[in-house]
Structure 1
Amino acid sequence: MRVSSIRMGPLPKTQNIKLTFACPASLKADLDRYAALHAQTYDEAVDATALIPHMLETFMAGDRGFRKGTMAAKASPPKQP
């Protein structure tokens, strides 16, 4: 296995729900290049679409504002109707 400096590790096995979205062609090209580097690094072929959920999870986990808002929402008691 060749070690690289990419941020994302091997992909975990998870249950998935299909979600469709549109992105610019330049982003799709970047995703394809990242997928190729990921496959080369971990000796396992991976499609760019398989990387997107993990990239989003990593992004959201690193977003302090989102985490702070999520914690605040969990700490607040539910509003009565």
Structure 2
Amino acid sequence: MVKLKLGPIEDDKPVKISVELSAAVHRDLTAYARIHASDTGLTHPMAIERLIGPMLERFMASDRGFRRG
């Protein structure tokens, strides 16, 4: 089993936004979703749209410059 930084995702009311991603980022997110499903015991990968928010949240929480600001 692979140890990902992103653990289980809480079911929270989302806010919809639109973003443009490169094809390479989209492919990586799709692969990440498959691994995340396997790692967290889900039967199907979560939609990548649901992964982006928690990933950004985790990124910002670990950014020391952002925290100091």
Unaligned runs of 5+ in 1: 70-81
* SS of residue matched to 1:40: helix
Give structure 1 regions of 4+ aligned residues with deviation exceeding 3 angstroms: none
Q: TM-score, normalised by structure 1?
A: 0.77
Identity level (%): 36
Write out per-residue CA displacement over residues 13-48 of structure 1, whole angstroms, 9 at most, x where no aligned residue.
Answer: 111110100010000000000000011112222111
Q: 7, 10, 24: which one pairs with 1:9? A: 7
Paired positions, count: 67
* SS of residue matched to 1:5: coil
Q: For residues 64 and 6 of structure 1, what CA distance do their matches in structure 2 show?
A: 21
Bigger shift: 38-47 or 15-24?
Answer: 38-47
CA contact 2:3–2:39 (8 Å) conserved in 1: no
RMSD: 1.0
Q: For residues 63 and 7 of structure 1, what CA distance do their matches in structure 2 show?
A: 14
Which protein has the larger Cα radius of gyration, Structure 1 or Structure 2?
1
Unaligned runs of 5+ in 2: none
